[in-house]
Structure 1
């Protein structure tokens, strides 16, 4: 693993913009983080461009109906569910560096190919392939983080990368404004082609990652002697290694599977911001439509400012559980405050919605920090890729279910529906808190060497 760069007392005490810049410069001294930040900053600008124009490109330029556009996006998300686990599984067997590079470069090429799509079928095929390779590359990258940093630096690395992602997507959205302003097919297709090229270029820094981020090579034992006869001892050793490898599968770890499921449920809070909030504001409140953009910008700014700071110490199981429970209470409160905006005068609705998005954003920040810490600390280090793949697959399933759940609760039943969501979020956060506390107690009883406990001891 790559050691963390020294943190001086001077830099730790700095505040404001100078301190923020100093911390970023200090982080970039770390080779693994430097390569990941460089890659993320370029590729996510491309993603930001694409996300900003996707729906309008499908409906206004290609000519898809709203239902067809929804199918295309759903298929992309569905393919990402399968790819999430596969990416981690592959990263345990081959070079995670090369896999991440290949998949993300291919994802960029497929993204650029959208510029030539002229109908439902080409868009559907490209969405399936693009979603698949983007998710498989993301899981490979999670395996890189799991192996490339010491435990106390993994969550920090994820927080830095999430901050960079938010900034880059915002920049990409600004670039996409060119197409939105011009409104011509050529402008849309041009910025989409640029987005794909940027995503492909963003994969290049991954080749500079050190070999330490790859999974340790599995020993290969010849099962035949020089004379050609079967070496029974070697064959038995090879069989034992395969059995041990399968035994360490995350699918045999009930605690980790439950953690992934509960984290997926809480992860539906992203669906509240992406789907529920715009529909609620425009249909049920007197607030002007432009408030939706203000709320999204507020969320992005707060994440950029506080994600890294809020993630400190969450490699500790008890801290991770505690911040997740706090996130649950904040998210439950945000749901009920969103509900209060209905029926209020415009100015009051705006104030209430701003208060709700602040609570929602800090719930998002804390829940992500807690989830990262637990997903790393409770995983078997030997199968880090597969474990991260399962966790990512759970999150993808939550993202896929979020539109249905949010629409079936808050949008359909109003205040009562928001109350249902509040219970769902608080319940999932409480479950994660219980898992974290029990895991910490078990680790203490075992001497505190590792938070991971073998689900099927030999």
Structure 2
């Protein structure tokens, strides 16, 4: 691990050093790699915002799929994403990562364009598996590109900038999707969903302009020596980090499923508060993800930040639980407070785990390591609906306490890994 900005890892002597992450958001975008990734991400996430807003409603309202069938589609496609997360990282170590990322984005766009033509459960399931599978592979490939193109604080800063842009793009796409919601016709839904896929394809064209330095160094096919690095599956510390980060990552599923159901079914707060909670989260990420991510390239600091996020998440769960059965005003206040703490916990946990995922990885196999780390979040996303149902949905306040304890324990485990890594590095 290096603390010096001068030690950025370019593949060629002419590679430009990234800007200081303490500078402004605009300054960060002066780096050509980040600028390309950012512009492609903004375009793609506008399409994703349209897609996420309309897809489930389209299949339930116009195709006639039931809630159980939608749940199966989401679970099975998420399971495919667990495998493709690692596959995408491995491929990024063997082939041109920029071309691979562009190809995956194009395939995802075509899959999204195909959704309106799925007239039954089987077709929808097949398309969903393709779309989610290539999306998870693309995420791992993008992380491998970041790991190679940047070093130290610049890696986490890049992830933070891209996540901020992602939230802006999805919010914009959601507003565009409102046109179809207002029209309320199948034709409007289909037209915007096809447009969302076409936007993805445009983002793929932008990715082709990434410089060749983001690709993995050429390797001798006959060389299987130590210079090739070790498999992440043989790195026990990294496997444990991946698992614990995936467990904490279930907080995304909690926000998407558990909190809306809790507000609608178990509190006196009006249903419109579900949208307010979403706005709170989106605004916090856009405003705070970049500044809150600074310094997490140091494992000890990253571990402390994740521990703080675990405490915040546990308190947020307690506030969510307390809102049940309270009068309207008290319930609204508790839920808004919980949503704010939840957003802070999400931002800090992402920053800390990003830093550790880069700093504790073997740089010789950046793609494989980032692919494995992506598997953890994909697995967490797949299991989150089951865990949230088994806790919050079925057991109410007690379930919230169980979830809070799970988040706190996983954060403590990550913090312990980070502290031991810092001690080992300091004595080396």
Q: TM-score, normalised by structure 1?
A: 0.89
State the Cα distance separating 1:4 from its structure 2 match.
Answer: 3.8
Is 1:145 matched up with 2:146? yes
Is 1:322 matched up with 2:304? yes
> Max radius of gyration: which structure?
1
**What CA distance in whole angstroms lies between the structure 2 residues aligned with 1:410 and 1:304?**
28
State the Cα distance separating 1:245 from its structure 2 match.
Answer: 6.8
State the Cα distance separating 1:6 from its structure 2 match.
Answer: 4.5
Aligned match of 2:197: 196
Aligned match of 1:394: 376
**What CA distance in whole angstroms lies between the structure 1 residues aligned with 2:362 and 2:20?**
29
Aligned match of 1:352: 334
Uncovered stretches (5+) of structure 2, i.e. residues with no partner: 1-9
**What CA distance in whole angstroms lies between the structure 1 residues aligned with 2:260 and 2:19?**
44
SS for the counterpart of 1:202 is helix
Structure 1 stretches of at least 4 aligned residues deviating more than 4 Å after TM superposition? 5-8
State the Cα distance separating 1:398 from its structure 2 match.
Answer: 0.5
**What CA distance in whole angstroms lies between the structure 2 residues aligned with 1:6 and 1:373?**
18
Aligned match of 1:81: 82
Is 1:56 matched up with 2:57? yes
**What CA distance in whole angstroms lies between the structure 1 residues aligned with 2:283 and 2:70?**
29
Identify the range of structure 1 (203-212 vs 254-263) with the bigger mean alpha-carbon deviation. Answer: 203-212
Aligned match of 1:453: none
SS for the counterpart of 1:289 is coil
Is 1:385 matched up with 2:367? yes
**What CA distance in whole angstroms lies between the structure 1 residues aligned with 2:353 and 2:282?**
19
**What CA distance in whole angstroms lies between the structure 2 residues aligned with 1:143 and 1:345?**
49
Is 1:26 matched up with 2:8? no
**What CA distance in whole angstroms lies between the structure 1 residues aligned with 2:267 and 2:133?**
38
**What CA distance in whole angstroms lies between the structure 1 residues aligned with 2:169 and 2:178?**
14
State the Cα distance separating 1:244 from its structure 2 match.
Answer: 3.8
Structure 1 segment 409-428 matched on structure 2, within 5 A: 409-428=391-410
Aligned match of 1:262: 244
Aligned match of 2:5: none
Q: TM-score, normalised by structure 2?
A: 0.95
> Cα RMSD (Å) of the superposition?
1.4
State the Cα distance separating 1:55 from its structure 2 match.
Answer: 1.2
Q: Contact between 1:46 and 1:196, CA under 8 Å: does it hold in 2?
A: yes
Alignment coverage as a number of residue pairs: 415
Distance change (3 Å), C-alpha of 1:193 and 1:265: same
**What CA distance in whole angstroms lies between the structure 2 residues aligned with 1:245 and 1:125?**
40
Aligned match of 2:38: 37
State the Cα distance separating 1:24 from its structure 2 match.
Answer: 3.0
Structure 1 segment 104-119 matched on structure 2, within 5 A: 104-119=105-120
Q: Contact between 2:42 and 2:166, CA under 8 Å: does it hold in 1?
A: yes
Q: Contact between 2:313 and 2:345, CA under 8 Å: does it hold in 1?
A: yes
